[in-house]
């Protein structure tokens, strides 16, 4: 599906990271965990073709990313940015319709099929009732869902989500993660970045840990996301375990007297 081969990434001549190899499979949620500055965003931009690789290659199915034009990429791989404030009050439906840009001929506007795809995307996420609301007036959680709907309107095979749960309240975090899990179970390949080990345990099939631009571990969360690893990544002491009645492992910090 999406494959990184010995990928080196960075801006211009400044290399941020390298040696990253991994394969993303359909129906899988891969979490990218790493501290600020570890290179998560740069890696994402390289995966999306916004930055040229400084070494190695990105493959979409079997085609190297740079052989595909922007439209072909957009039909295959969709980016979900962090819920942001928009400047102009486009309706939720209009924002989702923008996901059809790669399908619409340059000089025309979305047609009936595009509007139906957009409506279906909103429907799928239970957002249809907000279709006519201005994007600027809905909550942060609803904006995040709108952006996911926009990505679904691209009808991609891969979703790249930049900290989808950040900046949301607790309830919305869980709802967004729930939707991510459901999309994967329907066959979507998802790669998302996060800071929260709990979220990794909750949604990810595999976790890739990024430390100073290099992979510090890759595998099932239960196997590789350990107390020692969290200590290495974030320099903080934690304990992990499943709470009585809980469904997935949680991670809890142990703040010493000096912290």
Partner 1 sequence: MNSAQDPDRGNRKLVVFGILGVTVLAMASMAIGKYSVPPSAILRVLFAGLTGGQPDVDPIQQTVIWNVRLPRVIAGLLIGAALAAAGATYQGLFRNPLVSPDILGVSAGASLGAVLAIFLKMPVPVIQLMSFFGGLLAVAAVYGVGAAVRGRDPVLTLVLAGVAIGAIVGAGISLVKILADPYDQLPAITYWLLGSLTAVTRADVGSILPAMVIGLLPLVALRWRMNVMTLGDEEAQTLGVDTRLMRLALIFGATLITAASVSIAGIVGWVGLVIPHVARLLVGPDFRRLLPAALLLGGGYMLVVDTLARSVALAEIPLGILTAVVGAPFFLWLLASGKRGWS
Binding mask of the shown chain, residues 212 to 231, with x at each position contacting partner 1 by CB under 8 A? --------------------
Q: Is 74 in the site for partner 1 (CB under 8 A)?
A: yes
Q: Is 87 in the site for partner 1 (CB under 8 A)?
A: yes
Binding mask of the shown chain, residues 23 to 62, with x at each position contacting partner 1 by CB under 8 A? ----------------------x--xxx------------
Residue in the block written with tokens 């070494």: 55
Beta-strand runs (E) in the chain: 2-11, 14-24, 29-33, 55-60, 63-64, 77-80, 158-161, 189-194, 206-211, 214-219, 238-241, 250-253
Q: From CA 143, how far away is CA 245, in angstroms rounded? A: 32
Binding mask of the shown chain, residues 140 to 179, with x at each position contacting partner 1 by CB under 8 A? ----------x---x-------------------------
Question: Site for partner 1 (CB under 8 A): which residue of 36, 112, 255, 258?
Answer: 112
Question: Site for partner 1 (CB under 8 A): which residue of 28, 82, 94, 196?
Answer: 94
Q: From CA 201, how far away is CA 223, in angstroms rounded? A: 11
Q: Is 99 in the site for partner 1 (CB under 8 A)?
A: yes
Mapping DSSP to helix (H, G, I), strand (E, B) and coil, where does residue 65 land?
helix
Q: How far is the CB of 126 from partner 1 (least distance, A)?
A: 14
Question: Site for partner 1 (CB under 8 A): which residue of 22, 23, 86, 218?
Answer: 86
Which helix (DSSP H) or strand (DSSP E) does residue 75 occupy?
helix 70-76
Distances (CA, A) of 85 to 33, 88, 135: 25, 9, 9
Tokens of 242: 């499943």
Q: Is 8 in the site for partner 1 (CB under 8 A)?
A: no
């Amino acid at each position: 599906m999406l494959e990184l081969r010995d990928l080196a990434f960075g801006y211009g001549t400044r290399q941020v990271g390298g040696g990253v190899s991994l394969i993303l499979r359909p129906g899988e949620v891969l979490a990218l965990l790493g501290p600020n500055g570890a290179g998560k965003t740069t890696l994402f931009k390289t995966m999306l073709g916004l930055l040229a690789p400084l070494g190695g290659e990105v493959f979409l199915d079997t085609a190297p990313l740079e052989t595909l034009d922007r439209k072909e990429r957009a039909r295959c791989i969709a980016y979900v940015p962090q819920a942001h404030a928009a400047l102009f009050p486009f309706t939720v439906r209009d924002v989702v319709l923008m996901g059809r840009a790669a399908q619409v001929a340059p000089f025309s506007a979305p047609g009936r099929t595009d509007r139906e795809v957009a409506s279906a995307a909103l429907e799928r996420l239970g957002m249809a009732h907000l279709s006519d609301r201005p994007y600027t007036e809905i909550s942060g959680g609803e904006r995040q869902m709108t952006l996911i709907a926009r990505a679904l309107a691209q009808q991609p095979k891969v979703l790249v989500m930049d900290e989808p749960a950040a900046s949301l309240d607790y309830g919305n975090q869980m709802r967004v993660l729930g939707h991510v899990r459901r999309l994967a179970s329907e066959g979507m390949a998802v790669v998302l970045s996060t800071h929260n080990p709990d979220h990794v345990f909750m949604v990810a099939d595999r976790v890739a840990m990024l430390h100073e631009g290099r992979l510090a571990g890759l595998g099932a969360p239960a196997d590789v996301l350990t107390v020692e690893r969290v200590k290495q990544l974030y320099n903080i002491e934690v304990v992990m375990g499943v709470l009585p009645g809980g469904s997935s492992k949680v991670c809890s910090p142990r703040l010493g007297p000096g912290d």
